[in-house]
Each structure stands twice: as structure tokens, then as C-alpha cells.
Amino acid sequence: MSNESIREKVREEYAQAARRVSNQGGSCCGAAAPAGNPITSNLYREGETASIPAQALAASLGCGNPTALAELKPGETVLDLGSGGGIDVLLSARRVGPAGKAYGLDMTDEMLALARDNQRKAGVENVEFLKGEIEHIPLPANSVDVIISNCVINLSADKDRVLREAFRVLKPGGRFAVSDIVVRGEMPGEIRRRVELWAGCIAGALEESEYQSKLAAAGFEQIEVEPTRIYTAADAQGFLAQNPDLEKFAQMADGKFMSAFVRARKPGAASKS
């Protein structure tokens, strides 16, 4: 598939997820993932979401909780790449407080409409949702303290461009702090294709060392990949159920596919709140 074909496929799947969220909720990486899969479950604590509209939680298509792991500080400016229904933006706005600001960036009109409605219901003012692609961030250079994202960068067909753009808009000393799907070590091609179909991640997850290399090539330093959920052979059995070699393939996928928190920093003076 071409880059544009991948983008349009992602756009349509997320539009469908937004349209049905009031009835069915959402799932990781778009419409393809089955309900209740181990990627999307139990990402947020009840205390975090008590004041978040139910539709924002239902539209969460993520694989982690970057707002909790990013250690956001009062007064910071945060940008969420691929903000979907807005849950991570609303949580970020609460963490940075009235002196800070949280931007959400999404390319899907239906998700933007849902996010803005959730913002209205939550009564949060220090939030702005922007339309655009994560490969072309519509913000000036050196304008953001922290970039977060939740299971979205793996969907891009041009991850190098995404990371260069993230680097551009971060202030010197700014932090890159995203949750994403990552592959650990080599995985047989057939297994990888089946795993990614199950997760709905159209463009494909990066291998751990490749992710680190791409961040370094974009200019980042202090790069870390911290597993938050490692998927087991038991998890694999659901998406390999139609394969006659189920047990063998499930064992081959065991421990190779994970949700991870990816940290990095733009060199320079630490950002100030």
C-alpha cells in the first residue's frame, strides 16, 4: 500500500470508530481489534477518569496511559499526536493546570467533533484540538514542552517524518513521551502479519532497536523503551485461532509483541514551567 492509501485506511477506520462510539465504545488502533483484547483493557485508573465524559473513555483507542507516565508539570504545553476522542488531552489539561495548555492533533473530522464535544462536556478551557496529520504538525518550532501519543505513531507509514516533526516543535530540553506498540526481536513474517491484523495497526509496529535508531536519527537523546505490557502465547491464541499450527505459532509470538512507553529528550536547556 502507498503512504496515502495507508493514511486513508487509518482515517476511515477511525471515522467509523468515532461514529459508533456512543453505542459500542472503541478498540486499539481502529475498528479491526476485537473487543476486550489485552492491549486496550484497564489502561486508566477509576480516579483518573471520574470527571472525563464517558464518550471520551469509550473512544480511547490506545495501548497505554502516557499522561500518567510523562510526569507532566503545571504550566507546561503538551501536544497529543493522534488525539482521537480526546481522553489523553483532557487528562493532560488537568495535569498542567490553568497556566498550561494541551493541544490535540487529529486528521479525522469525526474524531475532532467527538473530542470537542467531550471538551465541552468536561468544561475544560485550556485545550485546543487541531486538524492535521502527525507527519505535518501545524505548530511552530520550539513551541511545545511535551509530546505524548497513544498507539498512533505505529500507524504512520512515514515514522521518520513524524519523529522529525516532533523534534521540530519541541522546545530545547522538551520531552517525547509516548505509548506505542513495539516488536521485541525478530518475529516470523506470518506471525507479525497476524499480530498486526489483530491489533489493527495498519502500517506496522517498529522493532525496539529500530525505534531507538529512528529517534536518534531525528536528533533525540536519552532514549528509553520501557515495556508496559508484554503479550504472551495465551494472548496470541485469539488472533491465531484459525491457524492449524496454533500452538507453535502462539509460542513463536510469545513475548515478542508489547505495549511500551517510549521516552526521549530534545537536547538543550530544560524547558521551564
Q: pLDDT (tens digit, 9 = 90+) per residue, 235-248? A: 666 555 555 555 66
Write the pLDDT tens digit of every residue in 142-185.
999 999 999 889 888 899 999 999 999 999 999 999 999 888 87
Check whether 218 has a pLDDT greater than 90: yes
Give me the mean pLDDT over the 130-140 stretch.
Answer: 96
Angle made by CA atoms 99, 100, 102, in degrees to the nearest 5: 150
Amino acid at 230: I
SS3 state at 263:
strand
- The mean of the pLDDT values for the chain is 79
147 - beta bridge partners? 79, 176
Measure the CA–CA gap between 28 and 199, rounded to whole angstroms: 7
Rounded distance between C-alpha atoms, residue 73 and residue 272, angstroms: 10
Q: Is the pTM of this model over 0.85?
A: no
Q: Which three cell numbers stand for residue 170?
A: 519541541
Q: What sign has the CA pseudo-torsion 56, 58, 59, 61?
A: positive
| Residues facing residue 226 across a β-bridge | 261
